Each structure stands twice: as C-alpha cells, then as structure tokens.
C-alpha cells in the first residue's frame, strides 16, 4: 500500500480556482431559482388572453425551453472557451446572468 502525503496534495489543490467556479455556479443557480417563482406572473402579463388553467402549462413550457437552450448552448460555450479562453467566457457568462436577472426584476 502506497502512503499519501495529504499535506502535499492539499498544497497542490487549486483552492482559488475551485472557489471561483463554485461561486459562479452558485450564482447561476441562485439567479435561476429566484426567477422561477415569477414565471407564472410574467406569463400572465405577456399573454393576458390565456385562461387561468393554461398559465401553469405555458410557464412550465418556458422553464423547459430554458433548460433545453442551456443544454444546446453548452456545447457552443465549451468550444468558444477552447478558442478564446475560459476566463473571458466565465466573465461574460457571469455578466449576462447578472444583467438578465436585473432585467427580469425591472419588468
């Protein structure tokens, strides 16, 4: 059995990079979950002709369209991060998350 020196492993662990990625992932999740309760009200505002029993269906449709768009777009963002670099793409995506959350709040 080979012994591990965890002190050396911990010094080599990229704590700063993992922390930044964790904060970015958490901010995206928090922004998405804070917008979620407002979707039925926004659906009613944008489509006032819908009946009250149809609003939940269309709000769920918008939610699922968001996740499908995220799935399809992740390949493009991954390719762009290989070409441009990870840092500019992460900064751009964090800025877009911030702006979109603020814009939803102003609606």
Chain-wide mean pLDDT for the chain?
85
Residue pLDDT, tens place only, 34-85: 888 888 988 898 899 999 899 999 999 888 888 898 899 889 999 999 999 9
pLDDT of 8 > 70? The answer is no
pLDDT of 1 > 70? The answer is no
What is the reported pLDDT for 85?
92
pTM: 0.66
What is the reported pLDDT for 90?
87
Q: Which of 4-8, 95-99, 100-104 has the lowest mean pLDDT?
A: 4-8
- Chain-centre distance for alpha carbon 52: 29
- Buried b / exposed e over 21-48, threshold 16 CB at 10 Å, is eeeeeeebeebbeebeeebbeebeeeee
Euclidean distance between CA atoms 95 and 20, whole angstroms: 14
């Amino acid at each position: 059995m080979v012994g591990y020196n965890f002190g050396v492993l911990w010094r080599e662990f990229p704590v700063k990079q993992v922390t930044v990625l964790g904060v970015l992932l958490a901010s995206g999740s928090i922004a998405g979950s804070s917008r979620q309760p407002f979707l039925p009200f926004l659906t009613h505002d944008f489509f006032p002709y819908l009946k009250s029993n149809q609003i939940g269906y269309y709000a769920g449709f918008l939610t699922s369209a968001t996740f499908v768009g995220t799935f399809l777009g992740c390949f493009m963002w991954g390719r762009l991060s290989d070409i441009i670099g990870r840092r500019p793409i992460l900064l751009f995506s964090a800025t877009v998350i911030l702006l979109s959350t603020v814009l939803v709040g102003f609606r």
